[in-house]
Amino acid sequence: MEHSSTPPVQQQDNGFGNLRWKVLASDELNCRGTSHLARFVQLGALPDVNQAISDLEEALALTPDDHPDISSRLNNLGSAFLARYQALGNISDLNGAITNLELTIAITPANDARKPGRLSNLGSAYSSRFKRSGDINDINEAISSLEQAVGLTTDGHVSRATSLSNLGGTFLTRFESLGDAADTDRAVSLRDEALALTPAGHPEKHKRYKNLGISLLVRFGARGVLSDLDLAIDVLNLAVRLAPDHHVDRADHLSDLGTAYLRRFVRSSKVEDINHAIVNLQNAVLLSPGNLPKAGCLSNVGGAYLAQFERSGDLKHLDRSIDALEQSLSLTPDDHVSNPTVLNNLGGAYLTRFMHLGELRDIDKAVLLREKAVDQTEDDHADMPGRLSNLGHCFLTRFDRLRIPSDIDKALSILEIAVAITPEDHPDAPGRFAYLGGSYLTKFKSTKARPDIDLSVSFRERAVAITPDDHGFKPRFLSDLGGSLFARFEQFEDPADADSAVVMMEKAVGLLDVNHSDRSGCLNNLGNAFHARFDHSRRPEDIDRAVHFLDRAVSSAPDGHAFTSGFHGNLARSLYARFQLVRDPSDLTRSLENYRASAESTSGNPTNRFHSARTWAKLSLEHDNKPSLEAHELALSLIPRIVWLGVGVTRRYDEILAIGDEASEAAAAAIALQKVDLAVEWLEQARSIVWGQLLRLRTPVDDLRSERPDLASELEGVSRQLENASAPNHLPTSPAREESEAQMHRRLAERYEALVAEVRRVPGFERFLQPRPVHELVSTARFGTVIIINVHPSRCDAFVVRHGVSATVRHVPLPHCSHEAATNLYLTLVKSMQNLRVRSEFRADRPYFGNKDDPNSAMKTVLEQLWVGVVEPVLRDLAYTNCSSRIKLPSVTWCATGPLAFLPLHAAGLYDGSNPHKVFDYVVSSYTPTLTALINATNKCRSPSPSILAVSQPSTSGQSSLPGTISEVETIKRRVANSGISFTWLNAEKGTVEAVLEGMKTHSWCHLACHGVQRSGDPTKSAFLLHDGALELARIMSTTFDSVEIAFLSACQTATGDTERPEEAIHLSAGMLMAGYRTGFATMWSIGDMDAPVVADEVYTYLLEAREGGEQTKNEVEERSAAYAIHRAIARLREKVGEQAFHKWVPFMHVGV
């Protein structure tokens, strides 16, 4: 600051008039303001700087433009604004400083001795504004001003040291933006000279130490020379010692010193360094005078606690890290230059917590924060490579848990960019290479492509090669490299890879002290490498070492660690491998114990826990000759977490592949222990999982509303939102919107689960949305017998629930049926359909030109074996085969599992010989995907005044013509003409997707005569092909129709299902049931265009007679009229085409009530 050349006066001199009085008053105010400013600089008391600005503004207002001290007063006011900005961070103060300092320079002559100092002040102000705004013009102006200041001073000049120090600071600032390491060399040189020019006892000496320390710290970050870091700590300690206890800069010095200790801890892992870091940083927070300085200190505290956690594994350190960083973010303006840094660091803390606890909201938060950090960073900013790398790591980590394909794509893309723009000699290059190597390893696990795993090894080798041996991350990089080598060995079996993997991982473990949080993971990786080598070498010492290191991994993992489940699973696997080698019973016992621990670990990956539970069950059965119901119960309980409501339907169907045949296996285990009711409950619980989730979302909450209206309303709202979010969406969207919607979907699922748990705490609602017990499931036999058939490699069984019988389930063993036989029957059926060319996407009549292997003969064999192995034993047990001449045949609903779900049980029989037997001579058959679906259909009221929507598509673009659809609908129209039933016909171009959907909402019966298609790649795209496009299953799933009753799906493959997910009933007829229809007529494969009208005519004739109470049906159970209708219609078609023309009549079937 500069003092006035005119001495102050204490009173007004009346002899000189008003002008003289103003001049004298301005002198006094200026003098008083500079005194307050000087005291603020010395002691840091905020009232002083506030008073200084007030006095100096008033002084300037009273100073004439031609006053000799006008430039000094402008400079003083600018300096005061700058000082207050540095204390409080208000941008208006910084703008005020620049405005006044620019005016000062403009009127200061070039030979004025004060010009260097004034230029230095202006340069500092520009530099500060650049840090706030990120405008590169500000830093360029700062450098220009400060270089002019230095150029105008000699070594003895009073302001030279200040100008040198400030100029060094601008070079640092430019480095932080542009990343040129040469700027850090210039900064260190300039600030070292500034310190040398500052005498001992000078009030700025502590600042000069601090500035040099910061410059050395930044250069260490740029060049990685450890001596710079050691020297930085030394000079920053001197800065702290020299700063007065209550000085405004003391908090800043403490924060810088703590940061330096933190950097050295990360580099060298010395415990005393992290302790020093935390003490200094916490003291800095306590002394920080304003929000912005405190935000910076809190950010550093958060980083220190995070580093401490990564070494100790103590979760309280991680929680403290997140708390501090959250506070820092709340105090940092959104437009502040440091905001991206805080966002990035906070994202890292949430990522770390996810990796240890496995909570999805943490990884989602990490992605969100780090995306914001990248968005707020200029493309050419020095921190952009690091922020991109960190974001890529988040996507990679989330992919490992959720398997979202776009996550691995984003991870690879982002990490490749980060590596491409990172200099090879950058200190952070090893970490970026390691992350990219990890992403290629993850990709390799899906592709099994040699180039992917080779790239993974290559990048991780580079990470190891350029990392000093004493670097804190060296063990992690070594272990990562071992993991990639291990993966390459498992796929391509080069023993050199296995040996190298072991060497890398042994080095990693050797570099870690016993309390390091990475130790358990490295021990686990080393144990897995030894196991992999054992699989190839069969050397006992390798499996012994595998068990040894995996044992240590388990024992060293902290409680609740997200990887504990995996550690137990790996140990269990190695113990069992050793048991198979040496047959030590203790290894088997410990293997089972660890599989159990893996399955029961609450923080582990649900899919890994599920597989551990299944292996536990399998080994229990193999070695104890007794299945573990506890293991199966746990596996089944994990299914909702694997096939999770928090992801879309298409993704859930992908996850179902991991479930395999657990439903059938669990039921078989229950039957082995004579737990028939449990077997039925488990089959129901673990089949048609996605449909079940959808139905639960649509469950009425009227009873709950009477007890807790608030809870009922929120549950309804969340359920509705969650159903909308779950619907398959094949429309293109932006990556940002896709991420936002996906995260919102996951939060909705979490809230839904919390609400359901809260409902179950309400008295009387303890079983709300719980799996149905058997006494509720048996109500499905209200209108006939229900037969559930379980097919598993270990055994096949039928479970019979009879109409009019008490609430029990009858068990019927099927000794002549096997999973293998059922699979072969299905394959035979598929082949015969291909030979007949009817298992395609088209409904049309085609000529059959014959084949040396008669397809009808093959189909007859299938039907005969179904009769012998499945249908006849059940019907005989029911005594249904005793008489086939009754007026009313009994009704049977089939609910089959596995490959039997694709076979025509309703057509089973012996069609040759002197004593033929055919199922349709004994019972009327229907199908249901699950018992719950049948319960829901049964509970729906029949329409008292039905109305029919008929849709025909005689000519669909890209498909064969279907002229028979017109005659089919015309026949129906004639049948209902005098019935009083409303009839609407959408033919050809009138049958658009939207028109059909609208019509379905207003008609209780729906008849679709068109092409149908089952999409095996994505079953939710299975569809009815209409005039303007496809009415897909996904669209039907997302729609609920009120007051609908019958759906006649006169199209191809409407009940075909998906062979990869046999338990899910992913077909159009099931979709119609779930959308609200009580009953459906469907097809198992393509149908003839001339056959469908025959069936339709007979079905509608029967239905109308049933409704009118006609003589032919008066003894029938009206509720089952649809099943009897299709039974009679198929019989008529058989008469027309011949019983041996199986491909013509067998595909027609009934679903529902």
Q: Look at residue 63 and tell me whether its pLDDT is greater than 90.
A: no
pLDDT band at 851 (very low <50, low <70, confident <90, very high): very low
Do domains 243-327 and 333-422 share one topology? The answer is: yes
Q: Look at residue 1110 and tell me whether its pLDDT is greater than 60.
A: no
Q: Which residues contact 11 (CB under 8 A, 6 or more apart)?
A: none
User: What is the Cα–Cα distance from 632 to 666, expressed in whole angstroms?
Assistant: 6
Greater confidence, 313 or 851?
Answer: 313
Q: Could you say which of 3.30.420.130, 1.10.3330.10, 3.90.1330.10, 3.40.50.1460 is the CATH number of the domain covering 941-1152?
A: 3.40.50.1460
pLDDT band at 853 (very low <50, low <70, confident <90, very high): low
Distance of CA 470 to the CA centre of its chain: 36
Tell me how crowded residue 941 is: count the other CB atoms within 10 A of its CB: 8
Q: Quick one: which of 319, 307, 245 has its CA closest to 518? A: 307
Cα–Cα distances (Å) from 184 to 130, 228, 881, 1136, in that order, read 18, 11, 94, 93
Q: Look at residue 843 and tell me whether its pLDDT is greater than 50.
A: no
403 sits in the region (left: phi over 0; alpha: psi -120 to 50; else beta) called left
Q: Spell out the SS3 assignment of 937-979.
A: HHHCCCCCCCEEEEEECCCCCCCCCCCHHHHHHHHHHHHHCCC
Beta strands 924-927 and 891-896, pairing class: parallel
What CATH number belongs to 333-422? 1.25.40
The structure tokens listed for 865 are 């074996």
The pLDDT assigned to 882 comes to 81
The pLDDT assigned to 515 comes to 78
User: What is the Cα–Cα distance from 538 to 328, expressed in whole angstroms?
Assistant: 55
Per-residue DSSP letter, 619? H
3-class SS shares of the chain: helix, strand, coil, % to 5: 65, 5, 30
Mean pLDDT of 1087-1112: 81
Strand order in the sheet with 1029-1032: 1011-1013, 1023-1026, 1029-1032
Q: Quick one: which of 950, 990, 996 has its CA closest to 1092? A: 950
The pLDDT assigned to 1116 comes to 43
CB 157 within 8 A of CB 362: no
User: What is the Cα–Cα distance from 683 to 789, expressed in whole angstroms?
Assistant: 10
Report the greatest alpha carbon distance in the chain: 143
DSSP β-bridge partners for residue 1047? 1006, 1080
CB 417 within 8 A of CB 430: no
User: What is the Cα–Cα distance from 1106 to 1120, expressed in whole angstroms?
Assistant: 10
User: Quick one: CA torsion of 100, 106, 111, 116, rounded to 10 degrees?
Assistant: 40
118 sits in the region (left: phi over 0; alpha: psi -120 to 50; else beta) called alpha
- Residue 825: helix, strand or coil by DSSP? helix
Residue whose token pair is 């930085």: 232
Helix 585-600 to helix 564-582 angle, to the nearest 10 degrees? 160
Greater confidence, 892 or 979?
Answer: 892
Tell me how crowded residue 548 is: count the other CB atoms within 10 A of its CB: 15
Cα–Cα distances (Å) from 418 to 50, 369, 436, 673, in that order, read 46, 18, 9, 58
- Residue 65: helix, strand or coil by DSSP? coil
pLDDT band at 22 (very low <50, low <70, confident <90, very high): low
The pLDDT assigned to 1120 comes to 66
Q: Look at residue 667 and tell me whether its pLDDT is greater than 70.
A: yes
| Per-domain boundaries in the chain | 243-327, 333-422, 703-759, 786-927, 941-1152
What CATH number belongs to 243-327? 1.25.40
Tell me how crowded residue 815 is: count the other CB atoms within 10 A of its CB: 10
Tell me how crowded residue 1059 is: count the other CB atoms within 10 A of its CB: 14
The structure tokens listed for 79 are 């300096």
- Least confident span in 335-344, 460-469, 511-520, 864-873: 511-520
Taking the alpha carbons of 929, 934, 940, 945 in that order, is the dihedral positive or negative? positive
Q: Which residues contact 113 (CB under 8 A, 6 or more apart)?
A: none
Q: Which helix (H) or strand (E) holds 30?
A: helix 17-43
Q: Look at residue 217 and tell me whether its pLDDT is greater than 90.
A: yes
Cα–Cα distances (Å) from 236 to 239, 255, 269, in that order, read 5, 10, 20
Mean pLDDT of 398-406: 88
> What is the rounded average pLDDT for all residues in the chain?
87
User: What is the Cα–Cα distance from 521 to 552, expressed in whole angstroms?
Assistant: 10
The pLDDT assigned to 604 comes to 82
The pLDDT assigned to 296 comes to 87
Greater confidence, 1086 or 633?
Answer: 633
- Identify how many contiguous H helices and E strands the chain contains and give both numbers: 47, 16
User: What is the Cα–Cα distance from 688 to 221, expressed in whole angstroms?
Assistant: 56
Greater confidence, 292 or 919?
Answer: 919
Determine the Cα angle at 222 with ends 216 and 225, to 5°.
65
User: What is the Cα–Cα distance from 1107 to 523, expressed in whole angstroms?
Assistant: 73
User: What is the Cα–Cα distance from 754 to 613, expressed in whole angstroms?
Assistant: 25
Q: Look at residue 500 and tell me whether its pLDDT is greater than 90.
A: yes
Q: Which amino acid type is present at position 1003?
A: H
Please state, for a pLDDT cut of 70, what percent of the chain lies above it: 93
Output the DSSP codes for 1070-1094. Answer: HHHHHTT-SEEEEESS---TTTHHH
Mean pLDDT of 43-60: 88
pLDDT digits (tens, 9 = 90+) for 969-1002: 999 999 888 888 999 999 999 999 999 999 999 9
pLDDT digits (tens, 9 = 90+) for 714-744: 999 999 898 888 776 655 567 777 888 888 8
Mean pLDDT of 370-378: 93
Q: Look at residue 3 and tell me whether its pLDDT is greater than 90.
A: no
CB 962 within 8 A of CB 1011: yes
Residue whose token pair is 């029949």: 942
User: What is the Cα–Cα distance from 105 to 109, expressed in whole angstroms?
Assistant: 8
The pLDDT assigned to 804 comes to 63
User: What is the Cα–Cα distance from 999 to 1016, expressed in whole angstroms?
Assistant: 28
The pLDDT assigned to 916 comes to 87
Q: Quick one: which of 389, 371, 457 has its CA closest to 429? A: 389
Greater confidence, 110 or 279?
Answer: 279
- Global pTM reads 0.75
Greater confidence, 816 or 111?
Answer: 816
Q: Quick one: which of 373, 307, 320, 311 has its CA closest to 342? A: 373
Cα–Cα distances (Å) from 10 to 22, 23, 27, 847, in that order, read 13, 12, 10, 119
pLDDT digits (tens, 9 = 90+) for 241-258: 998 888 888 888 999 999
The pLDDT assigned to 1109 comes to 63
Considering 135-144, 174-183, 540-549, the range whose residues carry the highest mean pLDDT is 540-549
Q: Which residues contact 438 (CB under 8 A, 6 or more apart)?
A: 393, 396, 456, 460, 480
Q: Look at residue 15 and tell me whether its pLDDT is greater than 70.
A: no
- Residue 1151: helix, strand or coil by DSSP? strand
The pLDDT assigned to 731 comes to 56
Q: Look at residue 223 and tell me whether its pLDDT is greater than 90.
A: no
The pLDDT assigned to 886 comes to 60
Mean pLDDT of 818-826: 93
Tell me how crowded residue 230 is: count the other CB atoms within 10 A of its CB: 14
Q: Which residues contact 1055 (CB under 8 A, 6 or more apart)?
A: 927, 1049, 1067, 1068, 1069, 1070, 1082, 1083, 1084, 1149, 1151
User: What is the Cα–Cα distance from 40 to 80, expressed in whole angstroms?
Assistant: 9
The structure tokens listed for 114 are 């004060």
Per-residue DSSP letter, 942? P
- Least confident span in 44-48, 431-435, 1053-1057: 1053-1057
CB 1107 within 8 A of CB 983: no
Cα-Cα end-to-end distance for the chain: 93
User: Quick one: CA torsion of 351, 355, 361, 363, rounded to 10 degrees?
Assistant: 40
The pLDDT assigned to 7 comes to 40
Q: Which residues contact 519 (CB under 8 A, 6 or more apart)?
A: 509, 512, 513, 556
Cα–Cα distances (Å) from 859 to 853, 915, 1100, in that order, read 11, 19, 29
